[in-house]
Amino acid sequence: MIGSLRGRLFIGLTAMIVLTGAIGGVFAYKWAFDEAIEIQDSALIQIASLAQNGSFNGGRPSPEIEEDAQVWLIELGNIPHGTSDERQLFGLKDGLHTANWKGQAIRVLLRTRPDGSRYAAAQPTAVRDDTADDMAVRTLLPIAALIPCLLIVSALVIARSLRPMIRLAGNLDARRADDLTPLPEAGAPTELHPFITSINGLLARMRLLMDQQRRFIADAAHELRTPVTALSLQAENLDSIELPEEARDRVAALRQGMHRTKHLLEQLLAVARYEAKPFSDDMQRFALDDVAKEVAADLLPQAVDRGIDLGFEIVETVTVRGQPVMLATMIRNLLDNALRHTPHGGRIDIGVYHQDGSAVLQIEDTGPGIATADLEKIFEPFFRGSRPEGEGTGLGLSIVKRIVENLGGRITLENISGAGQSGVRATVRLPVAANSKTNDRRQDA
């Protein structure tokens, strides 16, 4: 809380409001207390005026005054006599004084009549202080009620003022890792404009760096592909030469390594190609089911060699917008991944159908599945998981995700769990091209 800007603002405003309220309350209390004392002095003056022609003896309460007020009118006469308290009062000048009367402090007003007789209006200071204190405390109630209201208003103002910053952070968090489009300044407070400008500059530099990286990968892969292909041909030409058994094993290992290197270069070129900005003008309408059938037919011999049952569970005519090479690469990489992880005697089911207005490509295998800790990283380049199989490069699923995003779709990978069942289900959802069939598939539970 203290480390956040919102917390600091709220704590600072709270301290300022409470301190201001406390200081204001002290001054308000003192002012109200003094005003109450002055009002009571005025009351003594008015009471004394009423008694100008009256005569009271022994400090009896005035009949015009409520007994709760404890105001007395004391007749002192013309000469000092009586008790010591009366003589003390008689010796005071006309006006307001603080004195003692019967063992308690009083506030007294002395007056002299035209005939020379004197009288006094008196009130105990304890009663006066209690009355003034009660009136002063009441003046603090609005301030005490105002402070929490101000705190609530301050919290709301701070939250509303920081809302554009929170929206900006949410915009950044919701973006894909490769989305480097500039942040809009429209609608943002002017105080955030330098911050947004700095972020946009950083995004521009990152975009330039990523473009340079893509070009380097593409150029390096392209330059290496020619010599690797030549080396592969030379290795294949060695098959026609009589070689010792040990040499033939080494040539076989060499050919396998060259094949893997060639596959890696092709994947790197694909990454560089599909990480570039998609060109919607090149997109045409293609039947997704036809492309899936062609790719499955190409990989069927490989599946047969490994004893894997590769086939279609359901096929519907589905038309999407894209490029045939992109669609074929996407399906091939998914099937390659499934073939690599499906054991001998396993099964791979392919489904192409409509569902909820989208074209769906679904591939299920009977492999061991994906470790839960790997699911979040499975689409990262060169990530092969905690249980790597075969000669994969860790780029296939990254290429698939890039192609799917360029086509405006989304892909999910999930483990298949059940009684005696395991595997992975890859589901790709793409926008259906215009004029495509829209009959939806109802999957069995």
Q: What average pLDDT does the chain have?
A: 79
At 351-372, the pLDDT tens digits run 999 988 899 999 999 888 888 7
- Specify the 3-state DSSP secondary structure of 437: coil
pLDDT for 370: 84
Work out the pLDDT band at 435, boundaries 50, 70, 90: low
pLDDT for 372: 79
Q: How much is the CA Rg of the chain, to the nearest whole Å?
A: 47
Q: How far is CA 343 from CA 213, 339, 368, 374, in A?
A: 37, 8, 8, 20
High-pLDDT (> 70) share of the chain, %: 80
Class of the CATH domain delimited by 280-431: alpha beta
pLDDT for 100: 86
**In CATH terms, are 190-274 and 280-431 the same topology?**
no
DSSP per position, 101-147: ETTEEEEEEEEE-TTS-EEEEEEEHHHHHHHHHHHHHHHHHHHHHHH
For residue 425, pLDDT over 60 is answered with yes
- Specify the 3-state DSSP secondary structure of 49: helix
Contact 64, 50 (CB under 8 A): yes
Work out the pLDDT band at 75, boundaries 50, 70, 90: confident
Domain ranges, ordered by start, for the chain: 5-136, 190-274, 280-431
For residue 271, pLDDT over 80 is answered with no
Whether the full predicted model's pTM is greater than 0.85, yes or no, is: no
Work out the pLDDT band at 396, boundaries 50, 70, 90: confident
At 289-325, the pLDDT tens digits run 999 999 899 889 889 988 999 999 999 999 998 877 7
Looking at residue 61, the DSSP 8-state letter turns out to be B
At 182-210, the pLDDT tens digits run 888 777 778 778 888 888 888 888 888 87
The structure tokens listed for 344 are: 């001998």
Report for 86-100, 169-183, 204-218: range of highest mean pLDDT: 86-100
**Which of the residue ranges 74-83, 96-105, 301-310, 420-429 would you say has the lowest mean pLDDT?**
74-83
The structure tokens listed for 193 are: 């404009």
- Residue 292 neighbours by CB distance under 10 Å: 25
Contact 289, 318 (CB under 8 A): yes
Query: Is CATH 1.10.287.130 correct for 190-274?
Result: yes
